[in-house]
Structure formats: structure tokens, C-alpha cells
Amino acid sequence: MGFKMGIVGLPNVGKSTLFNALTKTAAAQAANFPFCTIEPNVGEVNVPDARLDKLAEVAKSASIIPTRMTFVDIAGLVKGASKGEGLGNQFLANIREVDAIAHVLRCFEDGDVTHVEGRVDPVADAEVIETELMLADLESIEKRRANLVRKLKGNDKEAQQQDRLLAMAQEVLENGQPARVSEVADEDAKAWKMLQLLTTKPVLYVCNVSEEDAATGNAHSAAVADMAAAQGNGHVIISARIEEEISQLDDDEATMFLEEMGLEEPGLDRLIRAGYDLLHLETYFTVGPKEARAWTIRQGTPAPQAAGVIHGDFEKGFIRAETIAYDDFIACGGEQGAKEAGKMRAEGKGYVVRDGDVMHFLFNT
């Protein structure tokens, strides 16, 4: 399982530059893993993980298959999007389909790049988009509650739960807060997710700074960091121009370029990791002579469901999972060494997979 992140932002904030960097990076990765352009505005990139390369080296795997992340360059937004202004309807429809929102904010000064509001204020920009999403949610909720009236009169239990949750979201939104701040009981979690409200999507603020501020950020990105912390959202500092330049270089040239800029790694790597943290994702591995492969799961996933990410039959017929912690696999020189050292564990259906586990699943067909 990968995940899908929508890139949003006002005009002239660097959203397209960032997406172009992502797609060029993906195209450069095609030798290792085919780049998939599902639509002109959708692209998939490899999720960087140094552990996978190390595992492949130890196991002498013939190929390396990373897990992938999908980015969606969502149509630009303007004030009034909730009422269909600009490409508003397309914007809102695309956002419903993503797992999280990467909100690109302009945190750079440049007199040659006009800001749609005539000023550089990333916090205010964030509020524009958040407001449009909240207005769209309120309109959606009102329509949906009106459509539930007949079922509610018939004491339909599912309709009653849906209406109760919609009413809860409506109250939060009318108080000027996104629906994601609502406290949802465990028994309502599935139904809540099915509502597909725009403001329940987790948000990662992407501070697009100038090249000279890429390593340290600036006053604008600091303001965004404060806002993100207050909301419980994440943020990452990136120079979209630098990322676009890096995407056109080979590995050695990119490393030298990053060193010159005082950066340890590409900002896109930080963006992907921040996205993983935001969605509470983690990685386990399958390793053998044919391939070393990474698989993405949500934190807290039991072993049978983790096996199901590979194939549904693995989950249905799950018997046990032979499991080695990443550090033990490396320290023992691979699977055989781990077995001999007593570091391989046989885990049953109740085992919760941990980040970095190297796993082999046994199942009935």
C-alpha cells in the first residue's frame, strides 16, 4: 500500500515547480521502477529508504523494489472555489480522493513573481484554502442531512449514525474549525471516514522558500511552523527551485549540489517522510535472492493484514510470519545468520508488525 498526497496552493506559490521536480525525479527512477503517469497531473515516486539498499546488499538480491507514493497536482484554487469559482469543482473533487494534503505556501520574496493577493503572507494563504474547504464541507453536510430525512423517519440505524456524525462535524465547522478536530469514538471511526469530508484530511504545510533559505528557513516559514504546531499539523521547508534543479542531475552531481547548498538530502525526501509520519505509516520488508522489496502499512497493523498487502490469499490463509528485526538481519549477515543466532521469531495472527521488520509469510492456499 502506498498513499496519495494532493498538492494544493494558491497561484504563483511554486506548486507546479514542486510537482515538476517530483515528476522529473520519477522519470529518472524509471530504470529501477517504471514511472506511472496515470493522468497528466498524477505521478508516482519511489519512497527513499536506505535500509532497503542495505538489505539487498546483505542478501545479494537481484533487484530492489521500493514502495511508492502518489502525488496529485490538484487544480489551482482561488477564493470562491467552494462555490465553483475558477476550477473550484474540479479542485474539490480531486481533494476527496487523496489521503492527505500537501499545502504549498509561498515563503519567499520575489518582485518578479506576482502574488494573487498582492502580498506574501503564508499564514493568510493557508486560511484562504482552509476556509474554502470548510465552506464546501458545510454545503455538503446541509445537502446530505436533508437527504437523510426520509430514512431518519423510518428509524434507519445507519442513517441515524450518519446524521449524528454530520451534525457533529457541522457544529465544529460553524465554530470556525476544520472537521478534523472532532473527537470521534472508535465505533464511529469507519462511518466517519466514509463521510469523506474535505477538512478531515490531514495537512502537511510545505514552506516554499528561496534557495538561500533552503537550509535554515526564514521568518515566513517560522510563522507557518507556529501555525502548524498549534493545529497539530506537520510542516516541511523546501526550495522548489532547488528540487527542480536536483531532479535534472545524476546522483553524484546532486550530492555535490546539496553539499554546496548546505543540505544533507533532497527536500523531497523530507516531504515523503513527513507524509509518512502524518498518516502514521511504516514499512516492512521481504528479502530474498530475487528481490528486496519494501511494503507500506499503517502503524498498528496485525501480521495477517500486513501479509494481505502482498496478496489477499496471504491474509486469508495466514499461518504465521517468520520475522527478523532489521538491525538483527544486518548484524547477523542475513536470514541464515539470524536463524542461527536465534533472532528469527515465529509470530502468529496477533502480532503487530513493527517498522523495519523483515518478514516471510507462511499461508494455506
Is the pTM higher than 0.75? The answer reads: yes
Q: Which fold has domain 3-278?
A: Rossmann fold (3.40.50)
pLDDT of 88 > 50? The answer is: no
Which pLDDT band, with edges at 50, 70 and 90, does 279 fall under? Answer: confident
In the chain, residues under CATH classification 3.40.50.300 are 3-278
CA distances from 166 to 115, 132, 184 (A): 36, 18, 11
Residue where the block lists cell 478536530 = 181
pLDDT of 147 > 90? The answer is: yes
Which pLDDT band, with edges at 50, 70 and 90, does 32 fall under? Answer: very low
Distance between CA atoms of residues 141 and 170, nearest Å: 7
What's residue 213's pLDDT?
Answer: 93
Residue where the block lists cell 515465529 = 346
pLDDT, average across residues 339-365? 95
Q: Which helix (H) or strand (E) holds 105?
A: strand 100-106
Q: Which helix (H) or strand (E) holds 30?
A: none
The C-alpha cell that represents 61 in the structure block: 538480491
Distance between CA atoms of residues 330 and 28, nearest Å: 29
pLDDT digits 0-9 by tens, 3-26: 888 888 887 788 888 888 877 765
Phi, psi of 177 (to 5 degrees): -125, 150
Distance between CA atoms of residues 103 and 125, nearest Å: 10
What's residue 12's pLDDT?
Answer: 79
- With CA atoms as reference, report the closest residue to 41 among 21, 23, 14, 67: 23
Q: Look up residue 207 and give its amino acid.
A: C
pLDDT of 33 > 50? The answer is: no
Count the Cβ atoms, other than its own, within 10 Å of residue 56.
Answer: 20
Contact between 82 and 139 under an 8 Å Cβ cutoff? The reply is: yes
Annotated binding site: 12-17
The helices-and-strands tally (H runs, E runs) of the chain is 15, 12
Share of the chain above pLDDT 90, in %: 55
Distance between CA atoms of residues 323 and 220, nearest Å: 46
What's residue 90's pLDDT?
Answer: 63
What's residue 308's pLDDT?
Answer: 95
What's residue 83's pLDDT?
Answer: 56
According to DSSP, residue 323 is labeled: E
Which superfamily is assigned to 300-363 in CATH? Answer: Beta-grasp domain (3.10.20.30)
Q: Would you call 5 helix, strand, or coil by DSSP?
A: strand
pLDDT of 130 > 70? The answer is: yes
For the beta sheet containing 234-238, the strands, ordered from the edge strand earlier in sequence to the opposite edge, are 42-46, 68-73, 3-8, 100-106, 203-208, 234-238
What's residue 270's pLDDT?
Answer: 87
What's residue 291's pLDDT?
Answer: 96
Distance between CA atoms of residues 275 and 289, nearest Å: 31
The C-alpha cell that represents 177 in the structure block: 474549525
What's residue 10's pLDDT?
Answer: 83
Lowest mean pLDDT, pick from 37-46, 139-148, 306-315, 339-348? 37-46
What's residue 37's pLDDT?
Answer: 40
Annotated binding site for ATP: 12-17
What's residue 123's pLDDT?
Answer: 95
Return mean pLDDT, the chain: 87
pLDDT of 314 > 70? The answer is: yes
pLDDT of 82 > 80? The answer is: no
Lowest mean pLDDT, pick from 92-106, 226-240, 296-310, 331-345? 92-106
pLDDT, average across residues 125-151? 91
Which pLDDT band, with edges at 50, 70 and 90, does 31 fall under? Answer: very low
Distance between CA atoms of residues 291 and 31, nearest Å: 15
What's residue 269's pLDDT?
Answer: 86
Contact between 72 and 41 under an 8 Å Cβ cutoff? The reply is: yes
Contact between 32 and 48 under an 8 Å Cβ cutoff? The reply is: no
What's residue 38's pLDDT?
Answer: 45
What's residue 117's pLDDT?
Answer: 62
Most confident segment among 23-27, 127-131, 332-336 = 332-336
The C-alpha cell that represents 199 in the structure block: 477538512
Share of the chain above pLDDT 70, in %: 88
Count the Cβ atoms, other than its own, within 10 Å of residue 318.
Answer: 21
Phi, psi of 52 (to 5 degrees): -65, -45
pLDDT of 206 > 80? The answer is: yes
pLDDT, average across residues 253-260? 88
pLDDT, average across residues 48-64? 95
